[in-house]
Amino acid sequence: MLSEDFLSCFSIINNRLLDLAGSSEFQRSTFAKMDEPKHPKREMGRKENHAVKIQDILYEQFVSESEFCDVTLLVGDEKVKAHWCILVSCPFFQSLHDSGMKESFEVKIRLNYGTPWAMKEALKFLYLGTISVTYDKIKELLEAAEYLQITDLKKCCNDYLCMTEINEENCVQLSLLSSLYDLDLYNSAFKFLRGHLPTVLKGEDALTLTKDSVMSLLTDETLTYVPQETFLEFITKWTEQDEDFRSEFFKELFLALNLQNIPKSVLIDN
């Protein structure tokens, strides 16, 4: 049989619990705990893994010319199948799609520029974001990147050329490419060209220089170490390389020479 002291103590505790249960603070605390989920929501999986998986699937469809490709590009005599969802990541195709042009609503788009190889490599870059670059193909890739407005591909070409050692054999081509496509290498390549000009002007690549590039060499005050007769001999060969087009520039280039420093016998011979 329970003692009176125990019953009295139990009664006090029971009454206290009833008072607490009636209080709003106790109710809020109790029900808040009841509302807490036993199994909270968690973000599972890895987005980057899923993105790579989707990328691989789309690229495999591109390579295999899958039925899931929804657009065909005509490059020369070749047909290249691709996905619109990938192409529109490139400003060229995005503007084509948004412009309301006829090609936007057809399954075939003709590209009348660049080599089939370069265009396919540029498309591959849109799928993968990486590319294997070689020096002998850099010009074709730059043409495709510029035409399709793929700035990341152009940057890859730029970075590749910046890692290329400049020498007397490639300085002219590097100067031309970096000038044409506004690449970071231009100053270094042109500086090397100026520093080795007498030797460079004897090479065949020098004959591919533009008229503006030739004029900049003739008027460069830092090149006074180059004999004027060397320049005269060069602009004569340069003009003869494409006489139909370049003959109109010869007079302007000739007058840019310091004729007083050229022997009369040389002037007569030329």
Per-residue pLDDT tens digits for 29-82: 555 555 556 778 877 767 778 888 888 899 999 988 888 888 889 888 888 899
Fold of 190-270: 1.25.40
Length of the chain measured in residues: 270
Domain boundaries, the chain: 190-270
Distance CA 80, CA 202 (A): 43
Give the per-residue pLDDT at 261. 75
In terms of Cα–Cα distance, which of 176, 259, 260 is closest to 214? 176
As to burial, measured by CB atoms within 10 angstroms (0-12 exposed, 13-18 middle, 19+ buried), residue 216 is middle
pTM: 0.74
Distance of CA 252 to the CA centre of its chain: 38
The tens digit of pLDDT for each residue in 195-223 reads: 999 999 999 999 999 999 999 999 998 89
The tens digit of pLDDT for each residue in 103-125 reads: 555 568 888 888 889 998 999 99
